[in-house]
Structure 1
Amino acid sequence: MLERLFPRRAPDPRPLPQPNAQLALGALLVRVALANREYVAAEVAQIDRILARTFDLKPLDAAKLRADCEALERHAPGTPEFTQILREEIDYAHRKALGDAMWAVALADGKRDDLEEAQLIDIEIALGLTGEDIAAARKNALTSL
């Protein structure tokens, strides 16, 4: 009876990890995938593959990292803070490769979405990529669709 009158509170969620390059990249990949308010299995799988390949992780470790990135994306700072971390920690060539990887996430479901593309281009600009590199990444991604 007391349980009904005084239900137990859910435990406080675990604190969010401090963003680093891994978490910032993962959160941005999740943000691109969620831009159209759909988060499909193909996008999740593509994010896991990118995280595994980029950070030399086993599949289970990549999935755990993605889960942390999902939580961080929901509750953490905006795109400028994530991109600033990546600009400080990753050289231009690798940031350009990250832009290409983000296109792979945006198109993982096999269709174009204006909201995802707009979010992705905003991220590429914030990463400091040139207009030429952004256009080339977009063209390459769309020709593979």
Structure 2
Amino acid sequence: MLKKLFQAFRPKTSSPLPDPDAELALGALLVRVAQSDRDYQVEEISLIDRILARLYQHNALEAAKVRATCEKLHAAAPETDTFGRLIRETTGLEERLAALDALWEVVLADNIEREGEVQIVDDACKAMGLSVIDNKKARAKAHAKLYPSAKTE
């Protein structure tokens, strides 16, 4: 009887996660960056939803559902470079550059570049087959987008 009582309070087994495609891989990387400082804020969640909607033509509800799936993928996730390689192997250069821009948007959302966040973006950049110059340009582009009146370093 005690066993049945404990089973009643255990979470039900969840449905299996989908195999990640480029969209889910990018979403999981965005979540990974946002959660890397252990302070996953509503503003970051909202920004991830807007990025997913913009890049993949989702409405707000669809973007939120994709992000929720990405949160689960991140929690059970392979390494950052695995997601980056998946993006490199399944998308063209323009899409990879857009993904890098999006990662920097999340890093810069709170106007603080934390070492852990930057390291994730650096690792993803390398895995996506992009250069250090691409990374610097993406950072500057994201900074200009988020803070149009500020000067970049």
TM normalised by structure 1 equals: 0.89
Structure 2 residue identity aligned to 1:63: A
Aligned to 2:139: 138
Alignment of 1:31-70 (within 5 A): 31-70=32-71
Partners of 1:118 and 1:32 in 2: how far apart?
9
Instruction: State yes or no: 1:30 paired with 2:28.
Output: no
Return the offset for 1:13.
Answer: 1.7
Aligned length: 143
Partners of 2:99 and 2:143 in 1: how far apart?
16
Of 96-105 and 5-14, the range deviating more from structure 2: 5-14
Instruction: State yes or no: 1:110 paired with 2:111.
Output: yes
TM normalised by structure 2 equals: 0.85
State, as a whole percentage, how many aligned pairs show the same letter: 42
Whether contact under 8 Å (2:83, 2:124) holds in the other structure is no
Instruction: State yes or no: 1:6 paired with 2:1.
Output: no
> What do you get for the CA RMSD once the two structures are aligned?
1.6
Alignment of 1:52-131 (within 5 A): 52-131=53-132
Partners of 1:22 and 1:5 in 2: how far apart?
41
Which runs of no fewer than 5 residues in structure 2 stay unpaired? none
Of 45-54 and 72-81, the range deviating more from structure 2: 72-81
Whether contact under 8 Å (2:80, 2:120) holds in the other structure is no
Structure 2 residue identity aligned to 1:44: I
> Once the two structures are superposed, what CA deviation does each residue of 1:72-127 show, in whole Å capped at 9, x if it has no partner?
01002221221121111111121011101111111112322222112111111111
Return the offset for 1:141.
Answer: 3.4
Q: Structure 1 residues 131 and 57 mapped into 2: Cα distance closer, same or farther (>3 Å)? A: same
Which runs of no fewer than 5 residues in structure 1 stay unpaired? none
